[in-house]
Amino acid sequence: MENTDNLIEKYFNKAVQDMQDLIKINSQYDKDTANNENPFGKGISECINKFLSIAKSDGFVTKNIDNYACFAECGSGDLIGILAHLDIVPAGNESLWQYPPFAAEIHDNKIYGRGAIDDKGPLIAVYTALKILKESGIKLNKRFRIIAGGDEETSMRCLAKYKETEEIPVFSFSPDANFPAVYAEKGQIQVTMKRDFPLQGFEPIKLLGLTCGERVNVVPDTAYAYFGGDTAKIKRQLEEIAGDELEIDYYKDEYLQVKATGKAAHAMNPENGINAMYKLLRILAHPSLDYGSWELMLWIRQVAYLLNDESDGRSFNINCHDDISGNLTINLGILRYKAEDLTLKFDIRYPVTIKSFKMENKINNLAEKMMMLTQISKHIPPLYIDKNNLYLQELLKAYQEVTNDNSEPVAIGGRTYCTMIPNSLSFGANFKNDEELAHQNNEYMNLDKFKKLIKIYTKALINLNNM
């Protein structure tokens, strides 16, 4: 039987290479290349098949589930699932990255790239731990199956597809959140709002469009407004009002482009970001500005004060709190205005003890404040696991043995695959003092942390194997 610490050193460089190979694939959802063969786009299918090729070369039993998801498995006995994802959120404004988001370059002992921490790096860490367990000579009393999905960042259709045809594990964990473990996840509601603002005829200055965001679960770091008509006048006015807060320039001499820059963050912690659209709308609400249509301009002036950096929904009268998971959070992730049609998409995370029907009442308050037609496009109830769960206790023992940290399990605002599979909880990969990097520019995986993750997950798998 080979020592697992020796195997960690033996396989570490290969693990780093495997992580780099996955990061180099732009595996964001791509509707332009999505089809029956590639349900989420070619990039995600490529990433699924790359992971499968890694697992096949290491002797795992593998299966591709129609490019929705895949798995790599070894052992015998009760099935233990490990839930991770290969899709990513968009890189956003790549000029704000210190290193290219799909180059997987190593600088100062860190691998930079989109997906490094969410979730390709943690996936390879737990995969390497399972490879070490398989090669150690320890008798496998459980079947361990890494289930890697391709649609976690949008609608989790990947795991819905998995559940249609595949075996459900007796217990699963996901390396897609926090240590020491996550026993509660807030509920999530995504809301789509629409309203028409018809033009009113001749207008010297016209607001032609507004746009921000690509994913509702990301705080948008850029927002744009486009003006036609007397662009010289609106340019002078905006420069006087905004100063250096906006980038203002002509676009191909056809219209004026106005850009606001904020800071990206995950929608579970919108307070860590700066929403660029909130910033832009506050400026466009200035009473000295005059642009059509009047109805749109008045709406902007009325709602700009609601859309602010306060992330708990207090301005909308939807705020709530519990002692387990904290405050409700709300994020405007997407806004589009063009040809009279305005669409907004909000991501709301609510405390685990709040009942669903109460949240529906709060959504009505939000719709009333925004003066828009509203539809709930996604609603995932909260997740809540007993802290005395036996599987949870074995994971905690592994974490405590490596880190000497006896902290209690935590509740989070993030949503993971654990909401889709019964008897599941998140275990890592962020430590309590880590900088929040998911969905942000310059995402990276520290290689010392990566090695520690492999060690924790190796001990965790051994503990589960011995149950």
Provide, rounded to the nearest whole percent, the portion of the chain with pLDDT above 70.
99
pLDDT in tens, 376-398: 998 888 988 888 999 999 999 99
For residue 360, the model assigns a pLDDT of 84
Pairing of strands 255-261, 222-229: antiparallel
Averaged pLDDT, 105-118: 98
* End-to-end Cα distance, the chain: 20
Same domain, 241 and 337: yes
In 3-state terms, what secondary structure has residue 292?
A: strand
252 has pLDDT over 80 = no
122 and 38 in a common domain? yes
Model confidence at 357: pLDDT above 90 = no
Question: Are residues 373 and 268 part of one domain?
Answer: yes
Note whether 178 and 193 are same-domain residues. no
Choose the final residue of a domain: 380, 408, 443. Answer: 380
pLDDT of residue 253 exceeding 80, the answer is: no
Find the CATH number of the domain harbouring 136.
3.40.630.10
**Residue (of 89, 110, 112, 117) closest to 102 by Cα position:** 112
Domain shared by 322 and 221, yes or no? yes
pLDDT at 21 over 80: yes
Residue listed under structure tokens 């129609």: 66
Percent above pLDDT 90 for the chain: 78
Q: How far apart are CA 188 and CA 127, in angstroms?
A: 29
Residues 239 and 346 in one domain: yes
Give the Cα separation of 407 and 428 in Å (integer): 13
Query: Is residue 356 very low, low, confident or very high in pLDDT (cuts 50, 70, 90)?
Result: confident
Domain stops at, among 380, 397, 417: 380
Res 230 pLDDT > 70:
yes
Look at residue 152 and tell me whether its pLDDT is greater than 70.
yes
| Closest to 256 (Cα-Cα) out of 282, 285, 287, 233 | 233
List Cα–Cα distances, 130 to 64, 193, 254, 299, in angstroms.
19, 45, 58, 55
Q: Which of 380, 414, 436 is the last residue of a domain?
A: 380
Mean pLDDT, the chain, whole residue set: 93
Q: What CATH number corresponds to the domain at position 259?
A: 3.30.70.360
* pLDDT at site 376: 92
Task: Taking residues 429-450, report their average pLDDT.
Answer: 94
Q: In the structure, what pLDDT confidence band is assigned to residue 244 with cuts at 50, 70 and 90?
A: confident
Residue 200, pLDDT > 80, answer no
Tell me, yes or no, whether 357 and 388 share the same domain: no
Each residue's pLDDT tens digit, 272-300? 999 999 999 999 999 999 887 788 899 99
Please tell me the distance from the alpha carbon of residue 278 to that of residue 283, in angstroms, as a whole number. 9
* Nearest in space to 130 (alpha carbons), one of 467, 457, 466: 457
Q: Which residues constitute the domain of residue 16?
A: 4-186+383-465
- In three-state secondary structure terms, 59 is coil
Mean of pLDDT values over 114-137: 97
* pLDDT for the residue numbered 380: 87
Residues 31, 44 within the same domain: yes
Judge whether residue 251 has pLDDT over 90: no
What's the pLDDT score for residue 151? 96
Asked whether the predicted pLDDT for residue 93 surpasses 90, the reply is no
Catalytic residues: 87, 152
pLDDT band, very low/low/confident/very high, at 145 (cuts 50, 70, 90)? very high
Q: What pLDDT is recorded for position 179? A: 96
Q: What is the domain count for the chain?
A: 2
304 with 420, same domain: the answer is no
Query: Does the CA dihedral 286-292-296-299 come out positive or negative?
Result: positive
Average pLDDT over residues 171-200: 92
Q: What is the mean pLDDT of residues 417-428?
A: 93
**pLDDT given at position 308:** 83
Give kind and range of the element (H or E) at residue 116: none
pLDDT tens digits for 298-348? 999 999 988 888 899 999 989 999 999 999 999 999 999 987 899 999 999
If asked whether residues 158 and 171 sit together in one domain, one would say yes
Q: What is the pLDDT of residue 92?
A: 85
pTM: 0.79
Distance of CA 53 to the CA centre of its chain: 26
Asked if residue 122 has pLDDT above 70, the reply is yes
Same domain, 320 and 331: yes
Q: How confident is the model at residue 201 (pLDDT cuts 50, 70, 90)?
A: low
Residue 160 confidence (pLDDT): 95
pLDDT of residue 291: 85
pLDDT recorded at residue 361 = 85
Cβ contact 448:205 at 8 Å = no
Q: Is there a single domain that holds both residue 50 and residue 86?
A: yes
DSSP 177-241: EESS-EEEE-EEEEEEEEEE----S--SEEEEEEEE-S-TTEE-SEEEEEEEESHHHHHHHHHHH
| Res 1: pLDDT | 61
